[in-house]
Amino acid sequence: MRPQYLLSTMLLLGFASISTAQTNDLKTKINQQIDKQYARYDSLYKYLHQHPELSFQEVETSKRMAKELRSIGFEVTTNFGGNGVVGIFKNGKGPVIMVRTDMDALPVEEKTGLPYESKIKAKNDKGDIVSVMHACGHDMHMTVFTGVANTMIQLKKLWQGTLIVIAQQAEERNGGSIEMLKDGLFEKFPVPNYALAFHVNSTLEAGTVGLSAGPFFATVDDVDITIYGKGGHGAYPQKTIDPIVIASRVVLDLQTIVSRELSPLTPAVITVGSFHGGTQRNIIPDEVKLSLTIRTYTDDVRQHILTAIQRIARGAALTAGMPDDKLPLVTIDPNPTPAVINDPKLTETVTQFYKSALGESNVIFVGPEMVGEDFGRYGKTKENIPILLTWLGSVDPQVLASCKENGTIPPPLHSPQFAPLPEKTIRTGILSMTYSLINLYNKVHSK
């Protein structure tokens, strides 16, 4: 081997070993901080799990998040975007990165049997008393979020820049990010170079993360259809125009939009989740109400589906003989949940950081999902901020093995039995996010 080639090879090997040593050193430092504070995180997680609050009602949860951030050393703004909390830590000149958590829980009666099971009941918007549970893992999100914030400050000598952490209300109701932005999140606080978040996953093993570039979660549209008819006695259907029959036709015909009007390669979902009509078996009602959820990724497919829904509803009513002034009323929520589009460059960069922190086998490529998450809205503003949402594995390996053996699946998100494996999930979330943030700050700062 020629001397110059030998020298180049030695230098490359030297840099590789330094890189590996630096990786291990940073991981060790992060894990040491997690070890020191883990009892605190465990206590916080169980407290949050036992004290869930519904969307737009996260008053005590918000206070707890503000208290945690202040105790860590953040400058905290409360009641931002409703019950939202914004924390800022300025650590010299450098990039600005935002980390987000959600805070709200669901109207679900918990059936996990855990010693810290939620027994909370609360009034919903209709005034009904309902059970409340963190069935979507937002308690885990808040715990990891707090751990990341704390560890970043403990290791502040290793990075420079500004860290913004936000805890938003009402993710489940698609209202939290709207209110944060309406209150001027990117006008009153520094505009981030990047925004990151986790969401627990009910099928990935604790200790892993899952992600992919580009479309990750879908745009979600809420659509309501009121179908009118001409009511009457159930014994004389010939004297009526039955809206239940019209609505039934609409439900079936809606399914042909995806199967016959879109390419088989185009992801889209139309689900009729609610069909309400009538009061008694022998009465044909005057109207029926349908509630739909629409899931798409592109604007053209979304618009095609929304237009087709109106065409199908109108056509079914006309076919049944309804007059023009009694055609169906189709109402589309003006604030859809936007798709989460993971920035390709950011995803590629952070994926490598995840692999260094967790090991390559624990970073899993997952395709797009048709669920919705209002985190996507932070990437749709005029600032055009690159965003990245990552699945955080949360399932006990023994549960996964048992499910595989029995041909079942673990309790899904929103299930009354949903129960993440706490310690491994918390540790993985804090390690992978903190490791990625420190490297991201240094990568951008060094450019």
Mean pLDDT of 71-84: 98
pLDDT tier at 23 (50, 70, 90 boundaries)? confident
Task: Return the pLDDT at 39.
Answer: 99
- Residue 1 forms part of a structural domain: no
DSSP state of 241: B
Q: In this predicted model, what pLDDT tens digit does every residue of 156-214 receive, in sequence order?
A: 999 999 999 999 999 999 999 999 999 999 999 999 999 999 999 999 999 999 999 99
Task: Return the pLDDT at 445.
Answer: 61
pLDDT at 215 over 60: yes
Q: Would you tell me how many other CB atoms lie within 10 Å of the CB of residue 301?
A: 19
Do both 176 and 277 map to the same domain? no
Q: Domain range for residue 232?
A: 219-332
Task: Return the pLDDT at 22.
Answer: 79
Do both 352 and 268 map to the same domain? no
Do both 294 and 357 map to the same domain? no
- Residue 9 forms part of a structural domain: no
Residue 53 near residue 446, CB atoms below 8 Å: no
Which CATH number does the domain housing residue 78 bear? 3.40.630.10
Q: In this predicted model, what pLDDT tens digit does every residue of 240-298 receive, in sequence order?
A: 999 999 999 999 999 999 999 999 999 999 999 999 999 999 999 999 999 999 999 99
68 is catalytic: no
Report the number of distinct structural domains present in the chain. Answer: 2
**CA 74 – CA 441 distance, rounded (Å):** 18
Do both 28 and 166 map to the same domain? yes
- Residue 5 forms part of a structural domain: no
Mean pLDDT of 411-425: 98
Looking at 284, 305, 332, the residue that finishes a domain is 332
Residue from 104, 179, 287, 374 carrying the catalytic annotation: 104
pLDDT tier at 446 (50, 70, 90 boundaries)? low
pLDDT tier at 4 (50, 70, 90 boundaries)? very low
171 is catalytic: yes
pLDDT tier at 3 (50, 70, 90 boundaries)? very low
- Residue 4 forms part of a structural domain: no
Looking at 297, 332, 367, the residue that finishes a domain is 332
Q: For residues 17 and 242, which has the higher predicted lDDT (pLDDT)?
A: 242
Do both 209 and 225 map to the same domain? no
Mean pLDDT of 53-58: 98
Task: Return the pLDDT at 248.
Answer: 99
Triad 228, 229, 232: Cα angle to 5°: 140
- Residue 2 forms part of a structural domain: no
* Whole-number percent of the chain with pLDDT over 70: 95
Looking at 332, 348, 372, the residue that finishes a domain is 332
- Residue 6 forms part of a structural domain: no
Task: Return the pLDDT at 11.
Answer: 38
Q: In this predicted model, what pLDDT tens digit does every residue of 109-168 receive, in sequence order?
A: 999 999 999 999 999 999 999 999 999 999 999 999 999 999 999 999 999 999 999 999
Sign of CA dihedral 237, 239, 243, 247: positive
Do both 117 and 32 map to the same domain? yes
* pTM exceeds 0.85: yes
Do both 54 and 188 map to the same domain? yes
Which CATH number does the domain housing residue 249 bear? 3.30.70.360
Do both 73 and 188 map to the same domain? yes
Residue 140 near residue 420, CB atoms below 8 Å: yes
Residue 153 near residue 70, CB atoms below 8 Å: no
Residue 112 near residue 137, CB atoms below 8 Å: no
> What does pLDDT average to over the chain?
95
Task: Return the pLDDT at 20.
Answer: 77
Do both 32 and 129 map to the same domain? yes
Do both 205 and 233 map to the same domain? no
Write the CB contacts of 285 (distance below 8 Å, at least 6 apart in sequence): 229, 231, 243, 244, 277, 278, 279
- Residue 10 forms part of a structural domain: no
Do both 63 and 171 map to the same domain? yes
Q: In this predicted model, what pLDDT tens digit does every residue of 317-348 receive, in sequence order?
A: 999 999 999 999 999 999 999 999 999 999 99
Write the CB contacts of 162 (distance below 8 Å, at least 6 apart in sequence): 88, 89, 90, 91, 94, 95, 96, 97, 190
**CA 202 – CA 395 distance, rounded (Å):** 6
Residue from 171, 205, 242, 343 carrying the catalytic annotation: 171
Do both 299 and 378 map to the same domain? no
- Residue 3 forms part of a structural domain: no
pLDDT at 223 over 50: yes
